[in-house]
Structure 1
Amino acid sequence: MKKLFFAAILVFGTTSLIQAQSELAFGIKGGVNFSNLTGDRFGEFDDDSARTSFNLGALVEIPVTEKFAIQPEVFYSGQGFDLIQRDNDQDTEFQLNYINVPVLAKIYLVQGLYLEAGPQVGFLVDSKIEGPNATLGLNEDNFNDIDFAGAVGVGYKFNGGMYLNARYTQGFTDIYDGETGDNATKNGVFAASLGFIFN
């Protein structure tokens, strides 16, 4: 809860500094995540081991010019990977769940179509292994509490405020505390989202 509170202050505190200069547009978002891990700690994870989860959160679009905006967000993101996959969809998952706070630059190419990119900081809120019959909590002291990452994406904003978005986020921080170099294991997440911006 403290991490969620801090993330919300980070996003909305930043926007309050420039509220007097910009017409803010608040929004909501939700969608599906396909997450995996990259790195050499356990070798590269196959695409087939990607965990399917969800993202859900809020955002603020801050217009700078007609075609350029800054968009801070705060959202819950289910990440990790599948340890074991089964035909009946009862997978055993290695779960790392975060509150993520990206600050994205948005460039509108043509009406509605935009590209986005920017840094992201994530706050680990939960770590566990969950299977069809049991859940095993993991010692969070073994993991980095904060995950720095970079995000790139593309989207389309319809007249009226609804939008579609596809984004890839690559972690820069090792998920394990104290590991560096060739042992580094990082988050990688592809997300597809549907949202609405209240103009």
Structure 2
Amino acid sequence: MKKILLLAVFTVLGFANVNAQEIKFGAKAGLNFSTVNGGNSGSIDYVTSQHIGLVSEIPISEKFSFQPEIMYSRQGYSFNNDIVEMNYLNIPLMGKYYVAKGLSLEAGPQIGFLLSAKNEGVKVTNSFTTFDFGANFGLGYTLKNGLNFGARYNLGITKADTDIRNGTFQVSVGYFFIK
């Protein structure tokens, strides 16, 4: 296992070194529309919050790119007008396929770490699992000047507590620092 991990690290580092001049770095921020699904979530509503973070885009070919991100994301839900707020450090690992100049379809896994959770100001972090795994699907558009826009849905796969999973729709605007 250690040999495979070491080989993967050297392969990625070698690949990144070859294409270093093409790698883009940037930042993005936007709105979250989040809720939870499953269990008895029939009377649960969406809450609006925000996300902010850093992104990188690593070209693999003319049509494909890999886009790792690190994001602070406020998520949660409303239940009987009671708002549950969950703060995550999310790491999306997105694959991008460019269908046209600047327009991409995106998909990939996301790993999330629960930083804190509150219910109407009372800390309830122990009520939720600290690790969140999900799958992202979305669209992106990047202008020549580096300004970019995105829309994405994160479908929670692991349970946030005993019977609910996160579900978050995100819209964002970002900027790639062009050399």
**TM-score normalised to the size of structure 2?**
0.87
Contact 1:37 1:44 in 2 (8 A): no
Structure 1 CA distance for aligned equivalents of residues 43 and 114 of structure 2 = 21
Displacement of 1:70: 0.2
Structure 2 CA distance for aligned equivalents of residues 28 and 43 of structure 1 = 34
The answer to whether structure 1 residue 68 and structure 2 residue 53 are counterparts is no
Q: How many residues align?
A: 166
List runs of 5+ in structure 1 lacking aligned partners: 1-13, 86-91
Displacement of 1:198: 1.4
Displacement of 1:44: 2.9
List runs of 5+ in structure 2 lacking aligned partners: 1-10
The answer to whether structure 1 residue 157 and structure 2 residue 142 are counterparts is yes
The answer to whether structure 1 residue 56 and structure 2 residue 68 are counterparts is no
Residue 102 of structure 1 is matched in structure 2 by: 92
Residue 83 of structure 1 is matched in structure 2 by: 79
For 1:1-199, what aligned pairs fall within 5 Å after superposition? 16=13, 18-22=15-19, 23-40=22-39, 42-46=40-44, 49-85=45-81, 92-130=82-120, 135-138=121-124, 140-176=125-161, 179=162, 184-199=163-178
Structure 2 CA distance for aligned equivalents of residues 170 and 57 of structure 1 = 19
| Partner AA of 1:33 in structure 2 | N
Structure 2 CA distance for aligned equivalents of residues 38 and 136 of structure 1 = 22
- Which has the larger strand fraction? 2
Displacement of 1:159: 1.3
Q: Secondary structure at the match of 1:141?
A: helix
Q: Secondary structure at the match of 1:173?
A: coil
Structure 2 CA distance for aligned equivalents of residues 100 and 18 of structure 1 = 25
Residue 4 of structure 2 is matched in structure 1 by: none
Deviations 1:28-84 (A, max 9, x none): 0000000000001x23345xx201000000011000111110000000111111234
Structure 1 CA distance for aligned equivalents of residues 70 and 14 of structure 2 = 17
**TM-score normalised to the size of structure 1?**
0.78
Structure 1 CA distance for aligned equivalents of residues 129 and 31 of structure 2 = 24
Contact 2:134 2:154 in 1 (8 A): yes
Structure 1: 4+ residue segments shifted above 2 A = 14-19, 42-46
| Partner AA of 2:50 in structure 1 | F
Deviations 1:150-171 (A, max 9, x none): 0000011111100110000000
Displacement of 1:24: 1.3
The Cα RMSD (Å) is: 1.7
Deviations 1:69-110 (A, max 9, x none): 00000001111112344xxxxxx4101110000101001111
